[in-house]
Amino acid sequence: MVSSEESVLDVLMRHPVAEWVRRRLEADPAAGPGDRDEYFDNCTDDGIARWREDFFTRGARRLPFKGRAEPVPIEEKTHVCMHNTAARFGTARYQRRPWERRLDAGELPAELAARYGLAELGRDATAARLALHARFWTVAYHWVVLRNGDVLYNNEPTRYTFHGNGANAAAIGVSMEGMLPARERDRRASHDAADEAFVARGQRLLRLAVATTRAAGAPLTHITAHRCFSPDRRGDPGEAAWRQVVVPLLDELGLEVDYGFAEAGGRPIPTDWDDSATHDWAGREA
Ligand SMILES: [Zn+2]
């Protein structure tokens, strides 16, 4: 995908999507498609994935991700499926310890250690950050933004991962970490904030996920929600993620929403989340 010598912008400019990027940069030069320093590579050998282990058994195969061994051709990736993790992630001592050892032994190349902030954060916090990212190796999303703001490129787009039921084949999974209410009017004190920083990082996540996946050759045309594919995930990704992160970027990213769509017990995007929606929370035509 993206080698360490070239920026995402370089890759984009070699691809048909370059025209899309050029138009965007003309509209807002400061926006940019993002460069490599804006996200953490959690899945290719350029990043810490050199320590990522196979953990998932699929038939006779062992895989470094939860999914199917057979990749999905990049031309078949037409959708983004939005999620929230419905959980907060932390790290235990036993998960931090290997990273402390690797830092102490100088096993991380200086460039990588610097990338994770060793000079600013110190050894313990850097190890905790590395361990937190490594926890997401068992999580099926292709892209995820953490509560601390870190954006992870977590699985290559051609990996068939189990992130969204019927969305798995055609969609890359893009997720925001946190306990988010299905609807903001149901918000409780125990929920995570959907403040300005959360929304800004979510938008950064979505821009990076779309730009890099298109640069890899995927014809992303639509965005959908896990809610539409599962009766158990009706609040996924939740009103804040959809209304404040997805909706404002639809035109900019050239993504469409199929507002009537739902399958397998899921429900369409609700009017509670999106003023253009055609169905209510219960799935009835509005
Ligand atoms: Zn989900």
Give 157-203 pLDDT, tens digit per residue: 999 999 999 999 999 999 999 999 999 999 999 999 998 888 988 99
Q: What's the gap in Å between 48 CA and the centre of ligand 1?
A: 25
**Separation CA 215–CA 197 (nearest Å):** 27
Predicted local distance difference test score (pLDDT) of residue 189: 95
Q: What's the gap in Å between 182 CA and the centre of ligand 1?
A: 12
Which is more confident, 219 or 46? 219
Integer angstrom CA distances of residue 89 from 32, 130, 151, 234: 30, 13, 14, 21
Q: What residue ranges do the domains of the chain occupy?
A: 34-85+139-286, 93-138
- pLDDT higher than threshold 80 for residue 73: yes
Predicted local distance difference test score (pLDDT) of residue 6: 44
The H or E element containing residue 65 is none
* Rounded-to-5 percentages of helix, strand, coil across the chain: 40, 15, 50
Residues 6+ apart with CB under 8 A from 173: 81, 83, 140, 141, 142, 143, 155, 161, 163, 164, 167
Q: What's the gap in Å between 234 CA and the centre of ligand 1?
A: 9
Which is more confident, 74 or 30? 74
Is the pTM above the cut of 0.75?
yes
Overall average pLDDT of the 121-148 stretch = 93
Q: What's the gap in Å between 77 CA and the centre of ligand 1?
A: 17
Q: What's the gap in Å between 3 CA and the centre of ligand 1?
A: 30
> 34-85+139-286, what's its fold?
Lysozyme-like (3.40.80)
Give 34-53 pLDDT, tens digit per residue: 334 589 999 998 899 999 99
- 79 neighbors 220 (Cβ within 8 angstroms): yes
CA angle 140, 268, 66 (to 5 degrees): 10
